[in-house]
Amino acid sequence: MTADSVQSLIDQLHEEAAMDRPTAETPDVGIVMGSDSDLPTMAGGQGKRPGATVALGDELGFDEQTDYTDAPEARFTFETFVVSAHRTPELMYAYAETAADRGIDVIIAGAGGKSADLPNMTASIAYPLPVIGVPVQEKSVDSVIGMPQGAPITAVDAGKSFNAALSAAQILARQYPELEERLVAYHQGLQEDVGDVSRDLHELGTPGFKDEYWDEDD
């Protein structure tokens, strides 16, 4: 038996899929995770490295869309759901099955534990929509990448949902030159940072660089 809260989400997804809204008003990227305990990895915070939502929002100018019928002003948007493969398989199926009709172009799916099935199952159901899997823990890697021939999934290393978001943006950028420009600008910023650090290290010398950049506890 499906819980009322889960059934309401399933019904909502199917209703949204039937709306046929303009592409510019629907989320471009869907982020799903098996549990809200995965959120520090998928979003960042709580001692974790920056996650997918930081890459999309802070670095690439996406807005998070929380109301399907009321899109943010930003041209590129993403949405976020908790969709457990084991506890709410009906919801997982509904999300993956309706994603394309709801306007989603790429899905980022994260899950932890040894049975991290959400990315794999989502990829199978949403096919041919591209799905990027994020193993939330090291022990999740084999499960996420262990797809048979003919059932593709793209995956990043454990915990690196930030890179998953960049990969999702790269896929979208083949269609949207504006997004390609944002990706190039982000990469150039990384290059500038390396160049500045390299010059400072060379000109200050190692002791001076440590005094300038390192905390006293390092």
What are the tens digits of pLDDT across the range 84-120? 999 999 999 999 999 999 999 999 999 998 889 999 9
- What DSSP line would sit under 10-52, residue for residue? HHHHHHHHTT---GGGS-SEEEEES-GGGHHHHH-BTTBPP-H
Residue 142 lies in domain: 4-175
Q: What is the mean pLDDT of residues 176-195?
A: 97
Q: Are residues 183 and 216 in the same domain?
A: yes
Q: Are residues 45 and 92 in the same domain?
A: yes
Confidence of residue 171 (pLDDT cuts 50, 70, 90): very high
Q: Which pLDDT does position 215 carry in this prediction?
A: 78
Q: Do 58 and 166 have their domain in common? A: yes
Instruction: Tell me, yes or no, whether 66 and 133 share the same domain.
Output: yes
pLDDT at 48: 80
Q: Which residues lie across from 152 on neighbouring strands?
A: none
109 and 23 in a common domain? yes
Ranges of beta strands (E only) in the chain are: 29-33, 63-64, 77-82, 106-111, 131-135, 154-155
| Predicted TM-score (pTM) above 0.85 | yes
Mean pLDDT of 126-143: 96
Mean pLDDT computed over every residue of the chain = 95
Q: What is the pLDDT of residue 217?
A: 61
CATH of the domain at 56: 3.40.50.1970
Confidence of residue 216 (pLDDT cuts 50, 70, 90): low
Domains in the chain: how many in total?
2
High-pLDDT (> 90) share of the chain, %: 92
Question: Is pLDDT above 60 for 218?
Answer: no
